[in-house]
Structure 1
């Protein structure tokens, strides 16, 4: 596997772990709100996240 891909995966895990580490109650509340969302809303959030991520990658690389 490419080392850049492993580095990116590691950074995702670090970033994803910050909120539950520092503010577990807020993390749980956020998850509860997400469970209550409709599928279309979650898909839109996922699409927006992918597009912002791609934009960041294109700007940095």
Structure 2
């Protein structure tokens, strides 16, 4: 449970920093995402999911 809370907290910190420091970048990223097909967005999401699971597994195996 602690690891899940840590991960969620880190995600929120990073998201908050992006919105606080570069809100115009978010607009550009959203426009770029709209230009992608549904399949490309799905593939990006699945790739991010797999990378996230691998990073969590590595962190857990290192003692986090």
Stretches of structure 1 that go unaligned for 5 or more consecutive residues are: none
Aligned to 1:16: 15
Aligned-residue Cα RMSD (Å) equals 1.3
Stretches of structure 2 that go unaligned for 5 or more consecutive residues are: none
Larger relative contact order (Cα-Cα within 8 Å, sequence gap ≥ 6): 2
Equivalent pairs counted in the alignment come to 60
Instruction: Write out the 4+ residue segments of structure 1 that deviate beyond 2 Å after TM superposition.
Output: 2-8
TM-score w.r.t. the length of structure 1 is 0.82
